[in-house]
Amino acid sequence: MCSFLPFFTSFNRTKGGLIELNHGRPQPLQYVVNAAFLATLYSDYLAAADTPGWYCGPHFYSTDVLREFAQTQIDYILGKNPRKMSYVVGFGNHYPKRVHHRGASVPKNKVKYNCKGGWKWRDSSKPNPNTLVGAMVAGPDKNDGFHDVRTNYNYTEPTLAGNAGLVAALVALSGDKSVGIDKNTIFSAVPPMFPTPPPPPAAWKP
């Protein structure tokens, strides 16, 4: 968790603020959303354990720092970035229109195409005829750049791993810590942060 925080230099960030968990290599967003989910989950666990924060070396950080990290990363993905681009298809007014996805790029014309039959749409520069609503694409490069090109899957390909992480992060962030956490459910089988203190000693009598 400490490595996610901007106070440390374990990972670089783009100028727009996106953490580079895959060290500047392509398709970064699948790693970012899963980190956002884990950070929020750990924050909720600390809250369930009545623990206000944790230590990174000699420095103490509150659970709010983890949620802030997760929120800023999700905000970037949804459009708070230098390109004002939402990387989730169908969210906002400016999102990828040429997603690297067969179902989105092949028109619905009641014709069955074999594998190679769809290549002419894969290689087309026209926007997808079918909007893949809710799909998160691979994302920008380390310079916050993005190319909405269907054949360049490093930018426009959605993945199950990425979209599963996105949904998990959005659900985790959908309620703040004031909502409350049921301590008898998700965290009931997780060991406590600290051992239970011993009972107080019996009253002393001379």
165 close to 30: Cβ distance less than 8 angstroms: yes
The CA–CA distances, whole Å, from 54 to 16, 57, 64 equal 27, 10, 11
Residue 20 falls in the annotated catalytic set = no
99 close to 132: Cβ distance less than 8 angstroms: yes
What is d(CA 173, CA 103) in angstroms, rounded to the nearest whole number?
Answer: 30
Residue 123 falls in the annotated catalytic set = no
Out of 100, 141, 144, 147, which one is annotated catalytic? 100
Closest among 33, 28, 31 to 138, alpha carbons compared: 28
Out of 75, 147, 148, 182, which one is annotated catalytic? 148
Out of 20, 75, 157, 182, which one is annotated catalytic? 157
Residue 157 falls in the annotated catalytic set = yes
State the catalytic residues. 100, 148, 157
